[in-house]
Amino acid sequence: MARLLLTPGLTGALNMALDEVHLRQVADGEPVVRVYTWQPWCLTLGYGQTSADVDRAACAAHGIDVTRRLTGGRAVLHAAELTYSVIVGAAQLDVGRNVTAAYQALSGGLAAGLATLGLATGFSERHRTETGRDPACFASALGGDLTASGRKLVGSAQCHKFGGILQHGSLPARIDEDLLAACLNRPPAAGRDWTCLEELGVSVSADQFARALAAGFEGLLGDLGEPREPTPEEWSAAAELAAERYADQEWIFRL
């Protein structure tokens, strides 16, 4: 049976490690939907993104952690936001290497969940870059990202590995473009293509978001039950993985 997890504010390293722990076991185990937040705030780089995009001193000055995701895509500043991950076996989703199809399948559940909160969203269907090399994820809507009123609301990224598919993403309550620019070594964007909950006049708690996702993914994953925490074994494996990779400055800044 698929599980619905709700974790308290965690470091970036521990959040990324928990997602990998769940991805590693999903091929022989159960799908997971998790809602989480970040303590302290954290800038995550895409798996293959150059760390030259990051101003490490500025991040440190603002008390912002930096880590690297297992998923693709560009940098995200995880601040005033709710984050989700959905992890399913590749065989269950049955989309082969088709990234767009995988996004549509998983973002469909996400959109259905958001609809229960009164948020009407649409899909961005582009899967080719048309926005140059802006290092920020929210600078462009691509490949299954969800938009509201034509602007990007949920930025998501995927990893296909260990026989499973991990999709995680950010639902921002608000975005501080100046802080993002400071962390990313670039001037604030001249225009913007994103929106956020505050701008849409919507307030959502982590618990509400988790229950909304459970409703949205019920068609794909079945009954997810009540929100709960990871198992002690998963916490332990995540702590180990966080220490050896996601908090390892050499690994994070290797590119």
Candidates 18-26, 64-72, 203-211, 223-231; binding stretch for other proteins (CB under 8 A): 64-72
Q: What is the dihedral of CA 88, 94, 95, 96, to 10 degrees?
A: 100
Q: Which stretch binds other proteins (CB under 8 A): 77-85, 113-121, 154-162, 244-252?
A: 154-162
Q: Is 30 exposed, middle or buried (0-12, 13-18, 19+ CB in 10 A)?
A: middle
For residues 154 and 146, is the Cβ–Cβ distance under 8 A? Answer: yes
Q: Which is nearer to other proteins, 13 or 206 (CB)?
A: 13
> Which token pair is 21?
């722990």
What is the nearest approach in angstroms of other proteins to the Cβ of residue 224?
A: 24
138 binds other proteins (CB under 8 A): no
- Does residue 144 touch other proteins according to CB under 8 A? yes
State the alpha helices, DSSP H only, in 94-188: 99-116, 177-183
Query: Measured on CA atoms in the order 238, 244, 247, 253, is the torsion positive or negative?
Result: negative
Q: Spell out, one character per residue from 7 to 46, where the chain touches other proteins: x when CB under 8 A holds, - when not.
A: ---------------------------------------x
Among 159, 212, 224, 247, binds other proteins (CB under 8 A): 159
Q: Which stretch binds other proteins (CB under 8 A): 127-135, 181-189, 190-198, 236-244?
A: 127-135
**220 touches other proteins (CB under 8 A):** no
Q: Given strand 76-78, what is the order of strands in its sheet?
A: 65-68, 42-45, 76-78
Identify residue 146 by its one-letter amino acid code.
L
| Residue 102 binds other proteins, judged by CB under 8 A | yes
Whichever of 160 and 245 has its CB closer to other proteins, that residue is: 160
* Long-range contacts, stretch 126-132, CB < 8 angstroms, 24+ apart: 127/99, 127/100
Task: Determine if 49 is a binding residue for other proteins (CB under 8 A).
Answer: yes
Sites of contact with other proteins (CB under 8 A) = 46-49, 70-73, 95-100, 102-103, 127-129, 142-144, 156-161
